[in-house]
A and B are shown apart, each in its own frame.
Chain A
Amino acid sequence: MIEPTIFELSSEGRPGYPLPPLDVPDTPVEQLLSPDVIRTPPHLPEVSEFQVVRHFTRLSQTTFGIDQGFYPLGSCTMKYNPKLNEEIANLPGFADLHPLQSPEHSQGVLQLIYDLEELLKEIAGLDRISLQPTAGAQAEFAGMLMVRAYHQQQSGTARTKVLIPDSAHGTNPASAILAGYKIEVVKSGPDGLVDVEDLKQLVDTDCAALMLTNPNTLGLFEREIVNIAEIVHAAGAQLYLDGANLNALVGMAKPGDMGFDVVHFNLHKTFSTPHGGGGPGAGGLGVKAHLEPYLPAPMVERQGDRYILDQDRPQSIGRVATFFGNVGMLVRAFTYISRLGHTGLQAVSRLAIVNANYIRKRLENHYHIPYNRPCLHECVVSAKDFTSNGIHAWDIAKRLLDYEFYAPTVNFPLIVEEALMIEPTETEPKASLDAFCDAMIAIANEATTNPDLVKNAPHTLAVSRIDEVTAARQLDLRE
């Protein structure tokens, strides 16, 4: 059943949401303001509250969240989002704070931000963390600006290029470009890891940083990481960690101990603030001590038993968010970490790794697995064996929807042909992993015995395959 748009539900002349009667003098706005600045009413729907409730409830029913089922979207860490997170973030003492109210009257939230920084410092092995960046990509950009400021300060030049492996997320090059760098791509070796020889060729005194994801987007740990850090540092460059895959490391290994100088967090991934249909996330930005002066301002500092906002940071790269970032998400992440505690955090990476390897093993006789050895939190399988039947990774993803799963990340990383990137997370029960593997195996069989069934999937949803080509050619972006 196709739900009408909210505009199609609209009927002319329906009154809007009622406000209390005006209790100040009712001077017409045309007298308070020039009539020239008053508009004709905007194009907005005229619907009742009940119509709004039914409309958005119905739209929610054709949306898929992790509360309904397994959501194996690789690199996105779709873990369970505890309900207590929401309850705490909605307390008026957090939800109804004005960002410019006096720090004296905001001691509770400032303490929470300070304490969250302390927890993340311990988890990642870093010296300071700014919680201002609103998402991972913004933290990447801010991190690269800090690298720039650092080099400028050290040697009077920002250096010119940033090295990025061919397996990296697209945000890495996009963020480094925005910070004014050109990009050079480091090749992956036959083991799927950074080709250390290629890296050595590319690292020189023009190199500002290497941006690395570890474990990488194949879910493989860069086993030469200590060596890589030495090579990068010997050239005076900085080592940046894209923390999208931090879930593999929590309680098991610390990026700071591996030699990373700058690390971004994705709090919505690793620390369980919900993904919200695409956001909001929150992206902490952590550094070793030598980069601390460049962190975005302001920072929360403790003075005795008081918490203050330190604006006086002359070497700071400046602000990246209007106020203090996505504080509501910080409250959720703090709640999550506090609830888990030290033993709970240790189990995060362990079970995430066991779950991913379990899927890898169960699928290895049915799908080509390009780097088939123990992975960490995610595994990447390939659909290339089915292309002779006209079936691509994309088709397998669509067929999974019929089996009531969401799909893995498709066609990424770019170094794997027909990639399906599967990240189960630590919270997924064994029964759902088994059901997912059963479905993947059944689809592999269908791909051979009945390829059209896969090619034309999905078959069981409110809509069949969506025509994305028409969407791009005949743009219809608004009612």
Chain B
Amino acid sequence: MFHSITPHEEQDMLKTIGVSSFEDLLGDVPSAVRVKGLLNVPPPQSELELRRRLKTLADRNINADTAACFLGAGAYDHSIPSVVPALASRSEFATSYTPYQAERSQGLLQTIYEFQSMICGLTGHEVANASLYDGASALAEAALTAMRITKRDQIVVSGTIHPHYRSVLNTYLTSVGKIVEIPHANGVTNLEGLKGVIDESTAAVMLQYPNFYGCLEDLSAAFQLAHEHQSLAVVSADPIALGLLKPPSESGADITIGEGQGLGNPLSYGGPYVGFFATRKEYVRQIPGRLVGRTVDTQGRRGFCLTLQTREQHIRRDRATSNICTNQALIALRTTIYLAVMGKHGLRAVAEQCVKKAHYAHQQLCAIPGVAPAFPHAFFKEFVVKLPCSPAIINEQLTRVGIIGGLDLGTYDSSLTNHMMISVTEKRTRDDIDLLVDTIAGCVKNA
């Protein structure tokens, strides 16, 4: 099957090693901890059997390939050009590992350099790393980075950041930092609340753009408050939105992180995704994760290699800027291919279609008697509506017509019971949206 040594070869090799049996190689392993016989797991299965069985399992899930997905909240059903999986699945990329040997990994290193360049292009920052695990861990790493730079330990977090991101941040800072969370004010950051808590111990002020509820924040105002106290301004941004919206760096963000899933990666029940991290050049020695630099070979030809590795755990150990080792390289590669094939104009077209379709859906939904906009703010591709009945009941009905409905916000925030958050990407057609609206209208009428 996968193993290539025949029993005959195995015997020959044992002879070369100078032992009479495999057991002779296990002298250090106490018999008390040896497995007696076979593990209690099922016998081997052929490809044919296993494919059939796993296909059955896969078919038990409702999926966004056959249902129209209006669920977002940090994972988005954007379209994926065919070239993305076709190129990223090339086994030279997929079956390699961290490019420690630069000379035999030039292609991979160049793709990472191009990823860093594109993330800089999108965010307007000067440096970007080679990737982090996902958006939430990138936010946590941004907090740790800000703490190192400012030598302060308090992080001020807007309640408009994705609740899962805030959970992960809490986990990461359990024993090394303090978090102050400011509840949202009508769907956006409570600036007065921020003002009240930012002080000389604040390492960073953190917002999301567009925020968890889809709303566009007044980043400049919040970041000005941060800078008045020499705190860093950190933002988690949707990279699709950055195809159209001014990057937060123009509003004063010092660090921009985000989730790159929407850039050419499937939903995959939450992962593998890819976190990106970009900041000012002056902070480059404080950032987490790998970096690829452009340099030359001994003959002066252009080449690429991992650089500033003295920040990393394999060199610096307990004084590293992060414990990250394995990152999300293949997903970063997919993202790079996506951005290349979309191009400057393609990404903007995706972003514009998101805005226009989301606004059409918003307008149609809010025309239903009993349905109202939840918040009065500008939005990008996601918005919240207030319903006269439970979103759970509506979602059940939507499933029956082949739609994955929006997020029931009451499950996150009891003050938002009967609120549904709806995401509309460029993939949704007018027919999808009209069916969503008609089905919700039917539910509301019968409620």
**Which A residues are in CB contact (< 8 Å) with B101?**
64, 397-398, 401, 406-407
Q: Which of B1-19 contact A (CB under 8 A)?
A: 1-5, 9-10, 12-14, 16-19
**Which A residues are in CB contact (< 8 Å) with B433?**
24
Q: Which of A202-261 contact B (CB under 8 A)?
A: 220-223, 225-226, 251-254, 257-258
The reply to whether B174 and A350 form a contact with Cβ atoms under 8 Å apart is: no
* Binary A-proximity of B101-125 (CB < 8 A = 1, otherwise 0): 1111111101101101110111010
The reply to whether B50 and A335 form a contact with Cβ atoms under 8 Å apart is: yes
Q: Which of A64, A112, A338, A407 has the most CB of B within 10 A?
A: A64
**Which B residues are in CB contact (< 8 Å) with A179?**
174-175
Q: Which of A33, A90, A171, A323 contacts B355 (CB 8 A)?
A: A33
Q: A16-B342, A39-B244, A174-B313 are in contact. Are A278 and B130 (CB under 8 A)?
A: yes
The reply to whether A275 and B97 form a contact with Cβ atoms under 8 Å apart is: yes
> At the interface, yes or no: B401 with Cβ under 8 Å from chain A?
no
**Which A residues are in CB contact (< 8 Å) with B165?**
322
The reply to whether A221 and B38 form a contact with Cβ atoms under 8 Å apart is: no
The reply to whether A99 and B30 form a contact with Cβ atoms under 8 Å apart is: no
The reply to whether A137 and B43 form a contact with Cβ atoms under 8 Å apart is: no
What's the least CB distance linking A135 to chain B, in Å?
4
> At the interface, yes or no: A286 with Cβ under 8 Å from chain B?
no
What's the least CB distance linking B289 to chain A, in Å?
10
The reply to whether A55 and B57 form a contact with Cβ atoms under 8 Å apart is: no
The reply to whether B104 and A17 form a contact with Cβ atoms under 8 Å apart is: no
Task: Tell me the nearest residue of chain A to B64, going by C-beta.
Answer: A96
Q: Which of B14, B34, B243 contacts A253 (CB 8 A)?
A: B34
Q: A257-B33, A321-B137 are in contact. Are A96 and B102 (CB under 8 A)?
A: no
> At the interface, yes or no: A155 with Cβ under 8 Å from chain B?
no
- How many residues of chain A get a CB closer than 8 Å to chain B's CBs? 205
What's the least CB distance linking B115 to chain A, in Å?
10
The reply to whether A374 and B24 form a contact with Cβ atoms under 8 Å apart is: yes
**Which A residues are in CB contact (< 8 Å) with B32?**
226, 257
Q: A59-B107, A456-B298 are in contact. Are A323 and B164 (CB under 8 A)?
A: yes
The reply to whether A339 and B44 form a contact with Cβ atoms under 8 Å apart is: yes
CA distance A105 to B63 in the complex (A): 9
> At the interface, yes or no: A187 with Cβ under 8 Å from chain B?
no
Task: Tell me the nearest residue of chain A to B166, going by C-beta.
Answer: A319
Q: A39-B245, A93-B55, A320-B171 are in contact. Are A341 and B42 (CB under 8 A)?
A: yes
The reply to whether A279 and B329 form a contact with Cβ atoms under 8 Å apart is: yes
The reply to whether B345 and A24 form a contact with Cβ atoms under 8 Å apart is: no
The reply to whether A354 and B322 form a contact with Cβ atoms under 8 Å apart is: no
The reply to whether B10 and A354 form a contact with Cβ atoms under 8 Å apart is: yes
> At the interface, yes or no: B442 with Cβ under 8 Å from chain A?
no
The reply to whether A170 and B345 form a contact with Cβ atoms under 8 Å apart is: no
Task: Tell me the nearest residue of chain B to A181, going by C-beta.
Answer: B175
Task: Tell me the nearest residue of chain B to A409, going by C-beta.
Answer: B100
Q: Which of B37-59 contact A (CB under 8 A)?
A: 38-45, 47, 50-51, 53-59
**Which A residues are in CB contact (< 8 Å) with B1?**
339-340, 344
The reply to whether B45 and A25 form a contact with Cβ atoms under 8 Å apart is: no
CA distance A46 to B346 in the complex (A): 9
> At the interface, yes or no: A389 with Cβ under 8 Å from chain B?
no
The reply to whether B323 and A171 form a contact with Cβ atoms under 8 Å apart is: yes
> At the interface, yes or no: A312 with Cβ under 8 Å from chain B?
no
CA distance A45 to B340 in the complex (A): 6
The reply to whether B41 and A345 form a contact with Cβ atoms under 8 Å apart is: yes
Q: A93-B60, A175-B323, A478-B126 are in contact. Are A99 and B270 (CB under 8 A)?
A: yes
Q: Which of B279-316 contact A (CB under 8 A)?
A: 281, 284, 290-299, 301-308, 312-316
Q: Which of A26, A136, A177, A362 contacts B325 (CB 8 A)?
A: A136
Q: Which of B60, B162, B269 has the most CB of A within 10 A?
A: B269
The reply to whether B271 and A328 form a contact with Cβ atoms under 8 Å apart is: yes
Stretch at the interface among A380-388, A421-429, A440-448: A421-429
> At the interface, yes or no: B29 with Cβ under 8 Å from chain A?
yes
Q: Which of B16, B42, B330, B355 contacts A277 (CB 8 A)?
A: B330
**Which B residues are in CB contact (< 8 Å) with A339?**
1, 44-45, 47, 50
CA distance A101 to B292 in the complex (A): 37
CA distance A16 to B349 in the complex (A): 8
Task: Tell me the nearest residue of chain B to A62, going by C-beta.
Answer: B107
What's the least CB distance linking B2 to chain A, in Å?
5
CA distance A461 to B290 in the complex (A): 24
> At the interface, yes or no: A197 with Cβ under 8 Å from chain B?
no
The reply to whether A100 and B75 form a contact with Cβ atoms under 8 Å apart is: yes
* Binary B-proximity of A332-367 (CB < 8 A = 1, otherwise 0): 000101111111111110110111011011100000
CA distance A226 to B33 in the complex (A): 9
Stretch at the interface among B86-94, B182-190, B191-199, B223-231: B86-94
A-B contact pairs, 29 of them (CB 8 A): A6-B340, A7-B117, A23-B429, A27-B359, A32-B356, A32-B378, A39-B245, A39-B246, A56-B87, A56-B340, A57-B87, A63-B107, A91-B54, A92-B64, A97-B63, A178-B172, A178-B323, A223-B30, A258-B33, A276-B94, A277-B330, A278-B290, A317-B174, A323-B164, A329-B271, A340-B44, A407-B101, A468-B305, A477-B284
A-B residue pairs, 10 tightest by C-beta: A16-B346, A93-B58, A323-B270, A180-B175, A276-B330, A341-B44, A99-B270, A278-B329, A65-B95, A108-B60
